[in-house]
Structure 1
Amino acid sequence: MGTSASLHYEPVAALAPGVLSAVGYHHAGVEPGLHVGIPAPSLTFIFSTRGPIEVGASAGQATGPDAERAQVLISRLHTNPAYVVEPGEQAGIQMAVHPLAARSLLGVPARELDRLALEGSDVLGPGAARTLRRLQDMPLGPQAFAVVGDYLREQLQQRRAERVRPEVGEAWRWMSRTRGAGSMRNLAAHVALSQRQLTTLFQREVGMAPKAIARLIRFSRARRMVVQHVAVGPSMTLAQVAHACGYADQSHLVRDFQQYTGTSPTQWLRQEHQYVQAGAHVRAEG
């Protein structure tokens, strides 16, 4: 007898400073396929307890011999969709990590994370592998989250990371407050730097310009609103979502969907229906 399909997500409060959100997941009896990993203004950090996660920059790469694989997965910032192989069963704990916390939690600036599926054990050392083994011996629940939280706090205590330039931290906070809709001219003026200087600092720290980060912040908000107000409980149109999020018009929102998900908003909702219904769209902003 086959296993009935189930997707379970259990979000918890932040596990450590710099961890924006954490969720436990268990997919069982799901028809194998591909899941679209959508760009966000955060790093992805996963302890996968059901074998390696296979990822690619295209569907062909994800399902072919060149797929990137990791069981303790750290994924870089990216501005195009990632394609994740969906096996019949998978489980683990997934976290969204603020890119400016990469030094203190991961030991390297975010710009040095250059793969969609970097094996975290190679970056973080044996402690990450030990944590994964402990998680594999226990059910998803409070004890598992406590194990991950203990590990993350140990990481913070062991490192005396270089401080992120205060202008970069304040610029990120400003973009979050304006939900990615503020102008780069006003941002640069707010931190008393030229736009070129600010771009250089962001490239050195996170490997991406502040304008690209602002677009990701704005899109992340728009995507959640599309799910909440267009798909789950229809109360807004796409045009209204675009206006609320600071897009010039609906076509600009659709353009961002096409870049970040590889398809239109309506097609993405159809493709990701089971994940949307299971609550997997919930994610913290940077």
Structure 2
Amino acid sequence: MVLRFQQPALPLRPYVQFYMLVHAHYDGLDPAKAVKPMPPAPQQWLYFYPRDQMRTFHYGQGREISSPRSIVVGPQVSRVDLRFPPNHLMVCAAFWPGGLHRLLGVPVKELFDFSIESRALLGPAVTEVEDRLAETTDYTAMLGVLETYLLGTLRRLRPHPERPLDRLLPALLPTGRTTASLDHLAAEACLSPRQFERGFFERVGMSPKLYARIVRFDRAFRLKEAQPDLDWLAVAVQVGYYDYRHLVRDFKEFAGVTPPQLLAAETSHTRVVGASSSFRPA
């Protein structure tokens, strides 16, 4: 399996957190076993699938979805199970809070808990990106195709001048300041609490309180993945939960299962991928 992360070019860094490329061949594997749980995360995404078609099961909608060649994913609160095809290639951009709205003009509040085909939202220029990725076999070139598109969008759309709130939002994830009070965050953005909440909702697509819960939930799951020897109570305390019961509440709401059950599903996928995926040229 190929897994690559790349930082965006300097002009895009206020908007894009990172690029990611994944390529795996699931040779001879029962598709039902090539399933990865994808609980909601703080980022919003622009995905491209240049090879075989991806299928997902959306828990919030209770249905299976066949993805087009490219999708925009807005603010999520529901788990999605990824069902990988035999030749899985994904190239994507992860956006900082507010970045998708500012750079691409996406009405994120209208994308709450679902995705949409990129062409329907971003126009025909996305088709050229899809075609170029489908023709490309070099991974570095694929990431370059995506970045060239985003840089062109930046030059063409000329996002609105940055406001204090726009500078604050990308800092919320790495600093963990989503747990700060609404009044404190509003003061940092030079806004009243009501103005801050309205601006946050416009840029991120959900309330600051709900977003803080998603960030904390995501941090808990990633911490347990990185440090499996930590017990769940220690994980809960480290990421700011009052107790284990509150951690379980969020896992059941956002992932539909308890923390150990979600980790077991992720571990099962990792084990299957390690045994069955292989590397071949793109």
- CA gap of 1:142–1:114, structure 2 versus 1, over 3 A, is same
Distance, in Å, in 2 between the alignment partners of 1:171 and 1:104 is: 11
Distance, in Å, in 2 between the alignment partners of 1:60 and 1:208 is: 18
Of 240-249 and 177-186, deviating more is 177-186
Is contact 2:101-2:203 (8 Å) kept?
no
Distance, in Å, in 1 between the alignment partners of 2:172 and 2:142 is: 34
Is contact 1:49-1:135 (8 Å) kept?
yes
Select the residue among 254, 261, 265 that pairs with 1:267: 261
Gaps of 5+ in 2: 275-282
Residue type of the alignment partner of 1:199: E
Residue type of the alignment partner of 2:144: A
Match of 2:241 in 1: 247
Instruction: Measure how far apart 1:275 and its partner are.
Output: 5.0
- TM-score normalized with structure 1 length: 0.81
Q: Across the two proteins, how many residue pairs are aligned to each other?
A: 266
Distance, in Å, in 1 between the alignment partners of 2:3 and 2:268 is: 12
Is contact 1:47-1:71 (8 Å) kept?
yes
1:181 is aligned to 2:179: yes
- CA gap of 1:180–1:204, structure 2 versus 1, over 3 A, is closer
- CA gap of 1:101–1:252, structure 2 versus 1, over 3 A, is same
1:42 is aligned to 2:43: yes
1:169-196 superposed Cα distances (whole Å, 9 cap, x missing partner): 4256356523433233433344454433
Of 252-261 and 238-247, deviating more is 252-261
Of 38-47 and 251-260, deviating more is 251-260
Match of 2:142 in 1: 144
Is contact 1:103-1:161 (8 Å) kept?
no
Distance, in Å, in 1 between the alignment partners of 2:129 and 2:37 is: 27
- TM-score normalized with structure 2 length: 0.82
Match of 2:87 in 1: 89
Distance, in Å, in 2 between the alignment partners of 1:219 and 1:59 is: 17
Select the residue among 231, 235, 244 that pairs with 1:237: 231
Match of 1:212 in 2: 210
- CA gap of 1:224–1:115, structure 2 versus 1, over 3 A, is closer
- The 5 Å alignment of 1:37-76 reads 37-58=38-59, 61-63=62-64, 67=65, 69-76=67-74
Select the residue among 26, 49, 56 that pairs with 2:23: 26
Is contact 1:8-1:27 (8 Å) kept?
yes
Report the identity percentage: 26
1:102-161 superposed Cα distances (whole Å, 9 cap, x missing partner): 234323242243562311122222221111111112225111111111111111111123
**Which structure is richer in relative contact order (CA contacts within 8 A, separation 6 or more)?**
2
Residue type of the alignment partner of 2:30: E
1:188-222 superposed Cα distances (whole Å, 9 cap, x missing partner): 34445443332222223332111111122222222
1:253-277 superposed Cα distances (whole Å, 9 cap, x missing partner): 2222222221122111111125557
Distance, in Å, in 1 between the alignment partners of 2:60 and 2:234 is: 32
Gaps of 5+ in 1: 1-6, 280-286
Give the superposed CA RMSD: 2.7
Which ranges of 4 or more aligned residues in structure 1 deviate by more than 6 Å?
A: none
